[in-house]
Structure 1
Amino acid sequence: MSLILTFLGKGGTGRTTIAIAAAKKLSNLGQRVLLVGQDPGPAFGLLLGVPTSPDPQEIGPNLQVVQLQSTVLLERAWEEVKKLEAQYLRSPTLKNVFGQELGILPGMDNALALNAIREYDSSGKYDVIIYDGSGDQATLRMLGMPEVFSWYIRRFRKVVEDSDVWKSVSPFIQPVTSAVLNVSWTGENFAQEPTKQANNLLEQGKAAIADPNRVAAYVVTSGDTAALATAKYLWGSAQQVGLTVGGVLLNQIPTTEPLAAEFAPLEISALPNLSASDDWQPLMDALPDFKKATQAPRPITVDIPARQVRLFLPGFDKKQVKLTQSGPEVTIDVGDQRRNIMLPPQLTGQSVKGAKFQDSYLTISF
């Protein structure tokens, strides 16, 4: 399994340059690194100084680079969908629809990118994968997809199973599936079988995002007021998808006590300007030890003996946090992000007795 790193921050703060420097540094340390660029424009290749392609190519010792192209990813993913359909249906219907003719719908880019990263991770070829995405809410929503999709499957499956329509048709499911499909599904497992593989992938994704040994982000900012405000906002918003932010990278500005206080307790690293396109060493040397991301505050902690759940929400105040409870789950709204928290069995079914927001932590008591 790989360590997956990404960088968050306002556009123009140097995220791509820092991602390239991080890839060079880690590959020089003997790590097998894959640098993934999502922007299909020419800037990525120009900064690297080499042509890029939609397939990984080696550009140095221990260092490979790939520039994602959504049309290529969609075409390949569609072929996998057709294989799955052929596995479950005796008479596949999608065989006459070809990936080469499919267009990209809004939101597909990030879903396809996340799946590509998952595949590169599972290949076992890389120790580190550095993802250079948009670095904003779109990146956070992408990394939050496993959590959100699993909620939709979990919640709507229950809604369907409890509906009168499902109760009426379920006795007929088994004979129909026996006649049409290659498997025999009963009314009890019909909703589970088609989604079992997807659920396994989603659970793996959720576990990876929640583990700073597997996935971590670093916030990048310049001295611009808007860049600093965006950095703080993205730091807090990252917590809503369970993503650990390991530190702050100050691009071309010095560390000051006020800045350190604003981003406490994160580690802050001041980075120099890339003085020449071929002299990356000063920037590489100034980068932090990315393994120390594990020392940053975790987005969520559960204290079962104290019957409490604590969420770390820096950059927001009490008025921006909304808490609701529906059934066994607790929902938190903050920073245009919504998170549904599945409670552990010991707290499932327990009502919220109180909530307190203090020192950037939301403490929920049951």
Structure 2
Amino acid sequence: MRIIIYTGKGGVGKTSIAAATAVRLAAEGHRTLVMSTDSAHSLSDSFQLTLGGEPVKIAERLWGQEVDSLRETEKHWGAVQSWLSGLMSWAKLNDITTEETLVFPGMEELFNLMQIKRHAASGTYDVIIVDCAPTGQTLRLLSYPNLLKWWMEKIFPHERRLIKWARPIAKAVTGGLELPNDQVMDSIEAFVRELEDLQAIIADHAVATMRLVINPEKMVIAEARRAFTYLNLFGFNTDAVIVNRVLPEGAGSGYWSTWREIHAKYEEEIRGCFSPLPILSVPMMEREVHGLPMLKRIGQAAFSDCDASAVLYRGRIQEVRKEGDDYFLDLELPFVRKDQLQLSEKGDELTIQAGPYKNKVLLPRSLQGRPIVGARFSEQKLTIRFGGRSV
């Protein structure tokens, strides 16, 4: 079983790359499911056929699915939503905008991702390709089980007993306010347990990997760096970067030659930012990418020199850890000598210069505002020590 999750800034061609990967793997003999967990689906447009909330056969050994957000929300959150609706009615906040707040931001995407767990457990597919919501913000929510597990074990049982005892009193005192019943509490507990299981699947580096899709553009690269930092911070393995819509050599003169120079400059920056990850390149096509023939061409371009189903890189390139009052940032820097290294920090960006090359790392919030108080380079790993924030 392999799970490959594609993420990236909206508009970079993430859906096309996910679909093209699925087409290639199915052609190589893998039973492949490509599924969209983005609320704004475009997978149907990519294949030029109608997909639904359950897997639809597209070609030999290839299925597609656009997860139904409303159905998944009802399945995982229906009891809680019903109780919240009653609470809003009791508070006389029952207009149409109130109904939209009954599902918290990011929850729909999480419910959609639960389908990964279902399909992984079924054994029906060899490979699951996930077209994830832009920038992978949903994946940051998957760090919550660590906190929720503690709450479920230490706080939730006491709250549950307290609510059961207080329910009739609260209804009488408040004039009809219903505290959550056992069905609501069971629903919350089941959701947290499922989320823990899903996190365990996605955090298994032998099974699941993330792939970032980017364009050679300044803002897109900045967004990808941010996503990459947090994927590393939360322990998810990114095994490749796909640079999509690169103008090929000989794209033309004048107007196009200028753009080719810009793309070449940003391709160099991408290598500096994401090395030693494999950087796969897909040229800009002469026409729109949709339908099986064009998706096949994209898959061939992206994976001409590697196995699309393989784990293309193993290991954490960045890791943040805390020892006492100090924080440490570990960075893998292959093919670099100690005497070549220079460090500089500005705002939330750390620049590591090795000779003529620069590697820019976006610092997570836990490290921002902390001064660098030491650094050590050993066995191709740079360890940077950060002190406390100045008051």
Q: TM-score, normalised by structure 1?
A: 0.64
User: What residue is the counterpart of 1:121 in the other structure?
Assistant: 120
Of residues 235, 239, 246 in structure 2, which corresponds to 1:242? 235
CA RMSD after TM alignment: 4.3
Of residues 151, 159, 167 in structure 1, which corresponds to 2:147? 151
Gaps of 5+ in 1: 83-101, 173-192, 303-307, 322-332, 339-353
> What is the 5 A alignment of 1:17-166?
17-41=16-40, 43-77=42-76, 105=103, 106-136=105-135, 139-140=136-137, 142-155=138-151, 157-158=153-154
Separation in structure 2 between the aligned mates of residue 126 and residue 337 of structure 1, nearest angstrom = 39
Separation in structure 2 between the aligned mates of residue 64 and residue 296 of structure 1, nearest angstrom = 31
- Flag the 1:42–1:11 CA change in 2: closer, same or farther, 3 A: closer
- Flag the 1:40–1:154 CA change in 2: closer, same or farther, 3 A: closer
Higher-Rg structure is 2
User: What residue is the counterpart of 1:268 in the other structure?
Assistant: 279
User: What residue is the counterpart of 1:13 in the other structure?
Assistant: 12
Once the two structures are superposed, residues 303-333 of structure 1 have per-residue CA deviations (whole angstroms, 9 ceiling, x without a partner) of xxxxx9865599x958649xxxxxxxxxxx9
Separation in structure 1 between the aligned mates of residue 38 and residue 139 of structure 2, nearest angstrom = 17
Q: Conserved in 1, the CA contact under 8 Å of 2:76 and 2:187?
A: no
> What is the 5 A alignment of 1:319-334?
320=348
User: What residue is the counterpart of 1:295 in the other structure?
Assistant: 314
Of residues 218, 233, 244 in structure 1, which corresponds to 2:226? 233
Q: Conserved in 1, the CA contact under 8 Å of 2:23 and 2:296?
A: no
- Flag the 1:45–1:311 CA change in 2: closer, same or farther, 3 A: same
- Residue identity over aligned pairs, in percent, reads 21
Separation in structure 1 between the aligned mates of residue 67 and residue 111 of structure 2, nearest angstrom = 9
Separation in structure 1 between the aligned mates of residue 63 and residue 244 of structure 2, nearest angstrom = 25
User: What residue is the counterpart of 1:223 in the other structure?
Assistant: 216
SS at match of 1:64: strand
SS at match of 1:271: strand
Separation in structure 1 between the aligned mates of residue 328 and residue 198 of structure 2, nearest angstrom = 22
Separation in structure 1 between the aligned mates of residue 316 and residue 194 of structure 2, nearest angstrom = 26
Amino acid at match of 1:248: V
Q: Conserved in 1, the CA contact under 8 Å of 2:109 and 2:133?
A: no
Q: Conserved in 2, the CA contact under 8 Å of 1:22 and 1:284?
A: yes
- Flag the 1:200–1:145 CA change in 2: closer, same or farther, 3 A: same
Separation in structure 2 between the aligned mates of residue 13 and residue 337 of structure 1, nearest angstrom = 29
- Worse-superposed segment, 239-248 or 286-295: 286-295
Amino acid at match of 2:270: L
SS at match of 1:248: strand
TM-superposed CA distance for 1:133, in Å, is 2.1
Once the two structures are superposed, residues 88-119 of structure 1 have per-residue CA deviations (whole angstroms, 9 ceiling, x without a partner) of xxxxxxxxxxxxxx866232211211212211
- Flag the 1:318–1:257 CA change in 2: closer, same or farther, 3 A: closer
SS at match of 2:294: coil
Gaps of 5+ in 2: 81-98, 166-185, 249-263, 322-326, 334-343, 350-361, 368-372, 387-391
TM-superposed CA distance for 1:258, in Å, is 4.2
User: What residue is the counterpart of 1:213 in the other structure?
Assistant: 206
Separation in structure 1 between the aligned mates of residue 376 and residue 209 of structure 2, nearest angstrom = 25
Amino acid at match of 1:70: S
Q: Conserved in 1, the CA contact under 8 Å of 2:238 and 2:313?
A: no
SS at match of 1:293: coil
Q: Conserved in 1, the CA contact under 8 Å of 2:240 and 2:278?
A: yes
Q: Conserved in 1, the CA contact under 8 Å of 2:152 and 2:189?
A: no
Once the two structures are superposed, residues 58-98 of structure 1 have per-residue CA deviations (whole angstroms, 9 ceiling, x without a partner) of 0111111111121111233357x79xxxxxxxxxxxxxxxx
Separation in structure 1 between the aligned mates of residue 156 and residue 15 of structure 2, nearest angstrom = 45
SS at match of 1:218: strand
User: What residue is the counterpart of 1:325 in the other structure?
Assistant: none
User: What residue is the counterpart of 2:299 in the other structure?
Assistant: 284
Separation in structure 2 between the aligned mates of residue 337 and residue 363 of structure 1, nearest angstrom = 13
SS at match of 1:261: helix
The number of equivalent residue pairs is: 288
Separation in structure 2 between the aligned mates of residue 18 and residue 53 of structure 1, nearest angstrom = 20
Q: Conserved in 2, the CA contact under 8 Å of 1:313 and 1:362?
A: no
Q: TM-score, normalised by structure 2?
A: 0.60
TM-superposed CA distance for 1:274, in Å, is 3.7
Once the two structures are superposed, residues 331-356 of structure 1 have per-residue CA deviations (whole angstroms, 9 ceiling, x without a partner) of xx954689xxxxxxxxxxxxxxx985
TM-superposed CA distance for 1:228, in Å, is 1.6
Q: Conserved in 1, the CA contact under 8 Å of 2:240 and 2:313?
A: no
Separation in structure 1 between the aligned mates of residue 50 and residue 366 of structure 2, nearest angstrom = 37
